[in-house]
């Protein structure tokens, strides 16, 4: 595109000329002597004919090089070849054009294939008003291999900005080193050569490129501009101190996609890959990839034609030896089901015991829950009456709920030694639960499980389709493992808008029939205004993320996407907000979480969370009656209750069973959390986990 590139454009003038006043045929002034100087090889008649036939097959055009006898000026005519199988070829002029050949002689046929220029001398033996016939020579010339292929664009809109001035147009032509934009709205001559431009290219209303460019040329007659994109790195994710392990898979996977600027299918071998991106290599002079290019609907193709769909973005390109170029590509989106399949491939390649597959032996998993102490005697006492319900719920979760549930297990020969799972708790919030491990011989499984968890979450929270704005995790304050790895980050970050912890009092409430509230008290449905009131109160007492993570806005609560996703697996999930009011003033809010028994073993998603905003006139009796009234929808004898703040439970002398910390992380701080955890894992985790697992194992034995 740039005049510095060795393209056919470099041999033509920027102005269009008419050969004869009476001609309807337009041509391009052509500098033949410069072209001859840059000849770089020869081409046989056979290969030239093959190139001609490919142009015909693709519906393309070639050029006829003609010389004006008077004055000696050279021109290029755009012509359309017929199929050719011998020395003779027929070329048609543009439809509707008339060429008067008097005063001109035909010299060559020229093909610009985007990679090089092929030039073949010809002898014309028949000239008509609509076509000509010529005899092809035995040998021609190849001229000036280009830095990169040039391709015609396909229905790509452009928005160009320089300072406060913005213009819109269409992409007419491109290479990795240049774009030609024809403006539909705006004046090309308003762009200043000394200032950089910002460009967005869109196809079907999706952005397919964004980046900064320098202005190369302005063509006022066509209201077009040529610009060259900077080849700088287009960083997608923050620079990492602790990078994810790069894997070289065998057999080598491929990335296949429709190139967004022209619609052609392209394929590259992948030579290293992680859950957040991969690298490819390409011959520099055939390069298609541009830093900043966004590709929607790309296919990761693994052995056996196993295909995974994703969106990707070219991050950088580095020149290598032997005319090669190395490109780094980020994976910018995948849905939950695809991501789990993808991570399962990667984790198994690095550790045969890692497993993210939905094909899990539930009997082995239940045995692990008991043997690891995750289901301890007191917990089992509360669960035992619902054994069959729990089994059915877990079977649905682990086998039929890929959109809302995922699990990672560490196994050897079908025996589970480590486990963690996540579940979509609210519209934009996922919850970690069931984190447990036990030793696998001398192997301290917790270390390996934690490393895989880190790598898993490191890609998960980056994918917009998964809908993870927040991650939450309930754990007991005296549980050293999560307090160290989760609570420790919150304390070290010291930013409650990045990561926060709030403490609840937890107890099981036996539902009764006494639900009549005293005079002046009533329970009302919550509204967006109430959510604002709750948020304002919470900001004063905590300043954290809990209320945001509950996704209580009316459009979130009323959205059916979460409910429908659970319903596909034969499960239920709803949540709503109510408030307890006395004489028009809100005293407490009730977050009513409804799900199947056993979705969480502590029923944290099948509970009532009570947020006491004004406890001065709140009594235990009023609270119990309100819970009796609301709790009837559960259809059980008891309902789990979580009270916040804990001080209010103490004031009302509630005999709660335990405390839970609710840890909440904003996905915007996912990088910080990952780096923090990997640093702890690198320097302190081994000693801690060995001590932790030994202590826990001894406790379980007794």
Assess contact for 614 and 608: CB atoms under 8 A: no
Mean pLDDT along residues 187-205: 90
Specify if 340 maps to a domain.
no
Q: What is the 3-state secondary structure (H, E, C) of 175-226?
A: ECCEEEEEEEECCHHHCCCCCCEEEEEEECCEEEEEEEEEEEEEECCCCEEE
Q: Note the pLDDT tens digit of each residue in 585-631.
A: 999 999 999 999 888 888 899 999 999 999 888 899 999 999 999 99
User: What is the phi/psi pair of residue 375, to 5°?
Assistant: -100, 100
CATH number at residue 475: 3.40.630.30
Helices and strands, counts by H and E, the chain: 17, 35
Percentage of the chain surpassing pLDDT 90? Answer: 52
Specify if 54 maps to a domain.
yes
pLDDT at 676: 81
Does 124 have pLDDT greater than 80? yes
Specify if 433 maps to a domain.
yes
In this structure, the answer to whether residues 649 and 678 fall within a common structural domain is no
Q: Note the pLDDT tens digit of each residue in 213-268.
A: 999 989 888 899 999 998 776 665 566 665 677 889 999 999 999 999 888 899 99
In this structure, the answer to whether residues 199 and 117 fall within a common structural domain is no
Q: How many domains does the chain have?
A: 5
478: its two tokens: 């005296």
Assess contact for 420 and 406: CB atoms under 8 A: no
Residue position matching structure tokens 């894992």: 681
Q: Note the pLDDT tens digit of each residue in 61-91.
A: 998 988 887 777 778 888 999 999 999 999 9
The helix or strand, by DSSP H or E, that contains position 208, with its residue range, turns out to be strand 206-219
10 pLDDT band, cuts 50/70/90, is very low
pLDDT at 262: 82
5: its two tokens: 């590139």
Terminal C-alpha separation, the chain: 77
The lowest-confidence range among 322-336, 377-391, 481-495, 582-596 is: 377-391
In this structure, the answer to whether residues 397 and 545 fall within a common structural domain is no
Given 74, 109, 143, the domain boundary residue is 143
More confident residue, 635 or 687: 635
Partners of 408 in the β-ladder: 420
Mean pLDDT along residues 192-212: 91
In this structure, the answer to whether residues 674 and 694 fall within a common structural domain is yes
In this structure, the answer to whether residues 613 and 542 fall within a common structural domain is yes
pLDDT at 686: 52
How many Å apart are CA 678 and CA 691, to the nearest integer? 19
In this structure, the answer to whether residues 507 and 653 fall within a common structural domain is yes
Specify if 2 maps to a domain.
no
Partners of 281 in the β-ladder: 326
145: its two tokens: 């291999």
Specify if 346 maps to a domain.
no
In this structure, the answer to whether residues 365 and 295 fall within a common structural domain is no
pLDDT at 3: 38
pLDDT at 604: 93
The helix or strand, by DSSP H or E, that contains position 502, with its residue range, turns out to be strand 499-510
Given 110, 143, 176, the domain boundary residue is 143
pLDDT at 29: 53
Does 699 have pLDDT greater than 60? no
In this structure, the answer to whether residues 379 and 456 fall within a common structural domain is yes
- Give the HSE-up count for residue 502: Cα atoms under 13 Å, Cβ half-sphere: 23
CATH number at residue 218: 2.40.10.220
pLDDT at 695: 57
Tell me 243's DSSP state. P
Q: Note the pLDDT tens digit of each residue in 301-339.
A: 998 889 999 999 999 988 888 778 899 999 999 999 999
Owning domain of residue 103: 8-143
Mean pLDDT rounded to a whole number for the chain: 85
In this structure, the answer to whether residues 32 and 118 fall within a common structural domain is yes
Rg of the chain's alpha carbons, rounded to an integer? 34
Given 105, 124, 143, the domain boundary residue is 143
306: its two tokens: 């196993």
Specify if 77 maps to a domain.
yes
- Strand bridging mode 139-143 / 39-44: antiparallel
In this structure, the answer to whether residues 486 and 516 fall within a common structural domain is no
How many Å apart are CA 486 and CA 494, to the nearest integer? 13
Question: Alpha helix locations (H) across 221-361?
Answer: 336-350
Specify if 246 maps to a domain.
no
Assess contact for 328 and 246: CB atoms under 8 A: no
Most confident of 110-119, 221-230, 442-451, 487-496: 487-496
Tell me 431's DSSP state. E
Answer whether 0.95 is exceeded by the pTM: no
More confident residue, 384 or 666: 666
In this structure, the answer to whether residues 557 and 600 fall within a common structural domain is yes
pLDDT at 23: 38
Q: How many residues does the chain have?
A: 702
Q: Note the pLDDT tens digit of each residue in 395-405.
A: 999 999 889 99
Does 563 have pLDDT greater than 80? yes
The lowest-confidence range among 171-175, 569-573, 653-657 is: 171-175
114: its two tokens: 């985007």
Specify if 76 maps to a domain.
yes
In this structure, the answer to whether residues 511 and 656 fall within a common structural domain is yes
For CA atoms 43, 47, 52, 57, the dihedral sign is negative
């Amino acid at each position: 595109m740039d005049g510095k590139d060795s393209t056919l454009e470099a041999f033509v003038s920027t102005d269009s000329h008419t050969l004869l006043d009476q001609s309807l045929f337009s041509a391009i002034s052509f500098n033949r002597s410069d072209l001859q100087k840059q000849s770089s090889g020869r081409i046989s008649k056979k290969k030239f004919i093959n190139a001609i036939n490919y142009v015909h097959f693709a519906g393309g055009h070639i050029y006829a090089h003609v010389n004006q006898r008077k004055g000696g000026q050279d021109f290029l005519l755009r012509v359309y070849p017929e199929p050719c199988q011998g020395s003779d070829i027929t070329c048609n002029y543009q439809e509707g054009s008339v060429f008067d050949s008097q005063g001109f002689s035909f010299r060559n046929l020229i093909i610009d294939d985007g990679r090089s220029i092929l030039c073949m001398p010809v002898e014309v033996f028949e000239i008509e008003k609509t076509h000509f016939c010529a005899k092809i020579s035995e040998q021609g010339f190849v001229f000036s291999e280009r830095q990169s292929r040039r391709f015609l664009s396909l229905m790509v809109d452009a928005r160009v900005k320089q300072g406060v001035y913005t213009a819109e147009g269409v992409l007419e032509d491109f290479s990795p080193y240049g774009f030609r934009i024809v403006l539909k709205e705006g004046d090309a001559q308003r762009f200043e050569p000394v200032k950089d431009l910002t460009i967005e290219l869109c196809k079907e209303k999706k952005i397919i490129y964004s980046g900064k460019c320098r202005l190369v040329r302005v063509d006022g007659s066509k209201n077009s501009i040529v610009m060259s994109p900077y080849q700088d790195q287009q960083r997608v994710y923050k620079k990492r101190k602790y990078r994810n392990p790069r894997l070289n898979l065998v057999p080598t996977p491929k990335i296949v996609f429709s190139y967004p600027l022209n619609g052609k299918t392209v394929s590259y071998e992948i030579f290293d890959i992680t859950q957040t991106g991969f690298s490819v290599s390409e011959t520099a002079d055939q390069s298609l990839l541009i830093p900043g290019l966004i590709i929607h609907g790309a296919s990761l193709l693994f052995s056996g034609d196993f295909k995974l769909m994703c969106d990707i973005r070219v991050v950088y390109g580095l020149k290598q030896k032997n005319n090669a170029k190395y490109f780094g590509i980020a994976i910018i989106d995948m849905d939950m089901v695809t991501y789990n399949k993808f991570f399962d491939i990667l984790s198994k390649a690095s550790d045969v015991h890692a497993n993210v597959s939905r094909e899990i032996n539930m009997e082995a998993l239940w045995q692990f829950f008991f043997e690891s102490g995750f289901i301890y005697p007191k917990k089992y006492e509360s669960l035992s009456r619902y054994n069959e319900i729990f089994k059915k719920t877990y079977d649905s979760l682990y086998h039929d709920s890929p959109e809302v549930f995922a699990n990672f297990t560490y196994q050897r020969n079908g025996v589970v030694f480590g486990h963690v799972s996540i579940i979509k708790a609210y519209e934009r919030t996922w919850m970690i639960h069931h984190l447990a491990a036990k030793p696998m011989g001398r192997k301290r499984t917790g270390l390996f499980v934690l490393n895989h968890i880190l790598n898993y979450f490191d890609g998960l929270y980056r994918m917009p389709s998964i809908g993870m704005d927040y991650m939450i995790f309930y754990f007991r304050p005296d549980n050293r493992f999560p307090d160290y790895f989760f609570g420790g980050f919150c304390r070290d970050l010291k930013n409650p808008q990045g990561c926060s912890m709030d403490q609840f009092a937890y107890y099981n409430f036996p539902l009764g029939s006494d639900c009549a509230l005293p005079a002046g008290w009533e329970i009302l449905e919550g509204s967006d205004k109430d959510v604002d009131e709750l948020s304002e109160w919470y900001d004063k007492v905590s300043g954290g993320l809990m209320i945001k993570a509950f996704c209580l806005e009316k459009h979130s609560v009323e959205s059916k996407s979460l409910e429908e996703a659970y319903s596909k697996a034969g499960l239920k999930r709803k949540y709503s907000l109510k408030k307890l009011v006395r004489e028009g003033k809100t005293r407490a809010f009730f977050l009513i979480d409804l799900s199947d028994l056993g979705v969480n073993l502590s029923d944290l998603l099948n509970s009532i969370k009570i947020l006491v905003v004004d406890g001065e006139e709140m009594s235990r009796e009023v609270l119990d009656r309100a819970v009796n009234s609301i709790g009837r929808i559960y259809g059980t004898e008891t309902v789990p209750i979580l009270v916040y703040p804990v001080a209010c439970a103490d004031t009302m002398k509630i005999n709660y069973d335990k405390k839970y910390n609710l840890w909440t992380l904003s996905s915007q701080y996912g990088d910080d959390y990952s780096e923090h955890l990997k640093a702890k894992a690198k320097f302190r985790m081994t000693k801690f986990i060995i001590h932790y697992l030994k202590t826990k194992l001894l406790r379980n034995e007794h």
